[in-house]
Amino acid sequence: MQILVISPRVAPGILTLQAWDVLRSAATVRASVDDPHVRAIVSSGIPVEIAELTSHEPRTVWIAPTGDAAWARAMADELMSGDAADVEVIFGSYDLPGSSLLDVVEVMDRLRRECPWTAQQSHASLSHYLLEEAHETLEALDSGDDDHLREELGDLLMQIVFHARIAAEGQGWDIDDVAAGIATKLVHRNPHVFGDVTVSSADEVDANWQRLKAIEKQRTSVFDGIPATLPALAYADKVMGRLEILEVTGDDLGSRLLALVAEARAHGKDAEEVLRQAVRLLG
């Protein structure tokens, strides 16, 4: 007896050769739930009976509830705990890396349709949540707690998917456009990986990135594209980087702060990060 597990993130009817061989050679194929994956198998000419799995049946293939590998393993263990012969769990399709992102999109779609709070949100009403989640993610990164970082990255991802879902309702783009856009940008700005450019150091990679970015943006001001809401040290670092300023003179407090930012840049440091870490040590 065999139990077949199918990924919910793969289109119905897309199965491994092993899965099709098992289904075609079975005396009986049964499933506990009728769903699109089961119907695709039926459409291929293999009859499927809908029933509950209660006992071991030789030469029978049971199709597990889609995506429920835990159910398949639990049923196999339960059947084998008695007098039944071996029960084999077969995976008929597998998730590709990143496939769980589809779950986030699906959950957000349903929340937008069925949750009153989620349904009334807009880009503007979510803006402070996006900022909070970004700061909480940075805090988790600083803490060195991997589990905390994973959780906060999930919260930040949710904000991205949320904004994309809102845009899909009337702005002409969605999460696929967001993903396609960044994928295209990464390919274009990394010609040493995706093209024929040769580099010998990380500095050359960064220089190529900045050159290509400048060509794309065609900015007319050194301040273009730098968010004014950045913390002051980070804002100063961005502007000084564009101006390629390495030294600042003056005795007033602002000039001395700028000089410290320039000093940090000269040593390959991020002034904002250095100060944040120094403040954490105070506690």
Q: Which two tokens stand for residue 195?
A: 């093209």
**pLDDT for 108:** 96
The mean pLDDT value for 75-87 works out to 70
d(CA 92, CA 9): 12
The residues spanned by each domain of the chain are: 2-91, 101-217, 232-282
> Residue 165 has what pLDDT?
97
CA-based nearest residue to 166, from 130, 214, 215, 206:
130
Give the DSSP per-residue string, 140-207: HHHHT-HHHHHHHHHHHHHHHHHHHHHHHTTTS--HHHHHHHHHHHHHHH-HHHHSS---SSHHHHHH
The answer to whether domain 2-91 and domain 101-217 are alike in fold is no
CA dist 278 to 135, 274, 282, Å?
17, 6, 7
Highest mean pLDDT among 89-103, 181-195, 259-273: 181-195
Contact 163, 130 (CB under 8 A): yes
pLDDT in tens, 143-173: 899 999 999 999 999 999 999 999 999 999 9
Q: Are 62 and 1 in contact (CB under 8 A)?
A: yes
Q: In this structure, what token pair is assigned to residue 219?
A: 């900015």
Q: What is the pLDDT of residue 83?
A: 57
Rounded Cα distance between 49 and 135, Å, is 53
Mean pLDDT of 112-125: 96
Please check whether the domain covering 101-217 is classified as CATH 1.10.287.1080: yes
| Fold exhibited by the domain 2-91 | Cobalt-precorrin-4 Transmethylase; domain 1 (3.40.1010)
Q: What is the pTM of this model?
A: 0.70
Terminal CA-CA length for the chain: 61
Q: Has residue 183 got a pLDDT over 80? A: yes
Residue 85's pLDDT is 61
50-59, 181-190, 232-241: range with lowest mean pLDDT: 50-59
**Is the separation of the CB atoms in 207 and 241 below 8 Å?**
no
Q: What are residue 60's DSSP bridge partners?
A: 28
pLDDT band at 225 (very low <50, low <70, confident <90, very high): confident
**How far apart are the C-alpha atoms of 77 and 196, rounded to whole Å?**
54
pLDDT score at 82: 59
For residue 260, the one-letter residue type is L
- Phi-psi bin for 67: left (phi > 0), alpha (psi -120 to 50), beta? left
**Rounded to whole angstroms, how far apart are CA atoms 231 and 209?**
24
Beta bridge partners of 40: none
pLDDT at 162: 97
pLDDT tens-place string over residues 51-73: 887 777 788 898 988 887 887 88
| The pLDDT value given to residue 84 | 52
Query: What integer is the mean pLDDT of 14-27?
Result: 93
**Residue 76: exposure state from Cβ atoms within 10 A (0-12, 13-18, ≥19):** buried
C-alpha separations of 38 from 66, 81, 89 in Å: 9, 28, 17
